[in-house]
Amino acid sequence: MIKKRITVTGGAGFLGQYVVEAFAARGHDVFVPKHADFDLTREADVHRMYDDGRPEIVIHLAAVVGGLGANVANPAKFLYDNLLMGLYLIEQARQRGVAKFVTVGTICEYPKVTPVPFREEALWDGYPDEATAPYGIAKKTILVQGQVYRQQYGFDAIHLLPVNLYGPRDNVDPKTSHVVPALIRKCVEAIDRGDRHVVCWGDGSATREFLYVADCADAIVLATERYSCADPVNLGSGREVSMRELITLISELVGFTGEIVWDTTMPNGQPRRCLDTRRAAERFGFRATTDFREGLARTIEWYRRSRP
C-alpha cells in the first residue's frame, strides 16, 4: 500500500498506540484526533476532525470501554456513546469519499452461548451476554452500517472482531481495566501489602481468549492492506484460557503464593470465548505469533517498571 493519509480514532489509547506505530513504520501519514479536541459523539466535532485530518483511510478504534464492572455500571453510556461515534464517523466518511473505513468491534457481539470455537457465521444466533450486551450491540450495529453502506453506496467498510487484548501500556485503573491488567495489579499489590489472599469475580470456570496487543495491530494493518469484504473477521490467538488458569499463571509469574478466593456472588460474564481464526489467515494472512506466557511476562515487567 503506497503512502496514505490515515486517521486513527482512539490512536492515543491502548491498542491505538500500537496501530499508529505500525502504520507510521510503514511510511503512512497518520493523524490522531485527541479526545480533548474532538468529542466524536458530537456531529460538529466529527466534521472538524475530518476537515483537519483529510483522511483517505479511517481506522475507528475510539470507544467507551471497560471491564465487566464498568459495563454493568454504565450500560446506557456504553450503548449511546459507541453507537453515536460509529454512525457519525461512517456517514461523514461516505460523504467525503474516504477510500476505506476499518471498524474494530468486540467479541461481546457474539451470543451469550455460542459453540466454541466462535465462527463469524454465529454472530446472529442469539442475544449477547447481558453484562456486556449494550456495548456489543452498539458495535454490532456499526457492523451492519458498514455492510449496508457497502451494499447501497459501494463504501469499502470492513469489520474486525478482536478477542480480549493484553500487553504493555494497558489500562490498569481498577474501575475500568480489563481482566489481565486488573489481575496483574491485584497480585502485585497483594505482594506489596503482604496479603494472604486475593479475591476474583465469579467461580473461575469462564474462559477467554487473549491476543497480544502488538499482534492485533499487525492484524489491523494486514486487513487494511489486503481485505475488502462485508464479512466480519475474527482476530485471535486460538487459545482458550479459563479464569482459574489465568490467575494461577499470573500468580506464578509475579510470585504471589497466597490463596485465590472466588466471589461467586459476582458474575462470570460470557461462559466461554474462543475464536475460529481461519478466516483471518485465509483472507489476509494473519496468525498470532506471541506466546501467551511470554506476553504476560512482558506485561508484568512493564507494569512493575512503570507504576509509581
Catalogue the active-site residues: 135
- How large is the C-alpha radius of gyration of the chain? 19
Residues paired with 60 in a beta bridge: 9, 103
- In three-state secondary structure terms, 5 is strand
- Classify residue 228 as exposed, middle or buried by CB count within 10 Å of its CB (0-12, 13-18, 19+): middle
CA distance 115 to 23: 35
CA distance 214 to 21: 10
Set of cell numbers at residue 16? 491505538
Contact between residue 112 and residue 127 where contact means Cβ atoms under 8 Å apart: yes
How many other β-carbons are positioned within 10 Å of the β-carbon of residue 308? 2
- Classify residue 225 as exposed, middle or buried by CB count within 10 Å of its CB (0-12, 13-18, 19+): middle
How distant, in Å, are the alpha carbons of 18, 118, 133, 287 from that of 25? 10, 32, 36, 20
CA distance 114 to 182: 26
Element holding 66 (H helix, E strand): none
